[in-house]
A and B are shown apart, each in its own frame.
Chain A
């Protein structure tokens, strides 16, 4: 399912709302999650899952082709952990 398919599903459930507003709703939700993570906040959506930021320390890695060592800067990665309800729904069959 893509972003646009999600919007058309919402518009089927909510025929009274403007498609344009539903598009904004979807944009707002994912933008809010993204800016929360950019601030270093967690996003906890019970039943669905939790979004968080994990930090990776600086490390020395090797260029696999040349064997040279390269310094890798510290970085942050977004992470997602499934909620209990979703995990059960995916594994019920």
Chain B
């Protein structure tokens, strides 16, 4: 495990180098991709990127939790969360080094 952090800047650079678009266009496209994915999730639809992963929405009902620091009980409000389901290919690639 190396532990580097990849950001928007790295993705922009990769598009610029591999697709040959300007850095400005590349940066804007990274933003558009993330924005379109967010907008879709916001409307209540899931996002499925074949051979990468699915982002599925789950509605959680309210439950009683505990503040781990103080131990005081608190109600966790109902909320919508994203369930990340990696594809077989992604799982395989991540485990390639271990085997």
On A, residues with C-beta under 8 Å from B are 1-3, 6, 9-10, 13-14, 17, 21-22, 24-26, 28-30, 32-49, 53, 73-80, 82, 85-86, 89-91
Pick from B6, B41, B91: contact of A33, CB under 8 Å? B6
CA distance A82 to B34 in the complex (A): 12
CA distance A46 to B7 in the complex (A): 8
Pick from A33, A43, A85, A90: contact of B80, CB under 8 Å? A90
CA distance A2 to B37 in the complex (A): 10
B79 neighbours in A (Cβ, 8 Å)? 90-91
Pick from B8, B19, B41, B48: contact of A2, CB under 8 Å? B48
Provide 9 A-B residue pairs closer than 8 Å at the C-beta atoms, listed in order of the A residue. A1-B36, A17-B21, A38-B97, A39-B2, A43-B5, A43-B6, A49-B82, A76-B94, A86-B82
Do the beta carbons of A80 and B53 come within 8 Å of each other?
yes
Do the beta carbons of A77 and B33 come within 8 Å of each other?
no
Number of B interface residues at 8 Å Cβ cutoff, please give it.
Answer: 55
Do the beta carbons of B36 and A74 come within 8 Å of each other?
no
Contacts known (A28-B14, A29-B30); A44 close to B7, Cβ less than 8 A:
yes
Do the beta carbons of A77 and B94 come within 8 Å of each other?
yes
Do the beta carbons of B52 and A36 come within 8 Å of each other?
no
Cβ distance B22 to chain A, nearest Cβ, rounded Å: 11
CA distance A43 to B2 in the complex (A): 13
CA distance A25 to B14 in the complex (A): 9
Interface centre among B5, B46, B81 (most CB of A within 10 A): B5
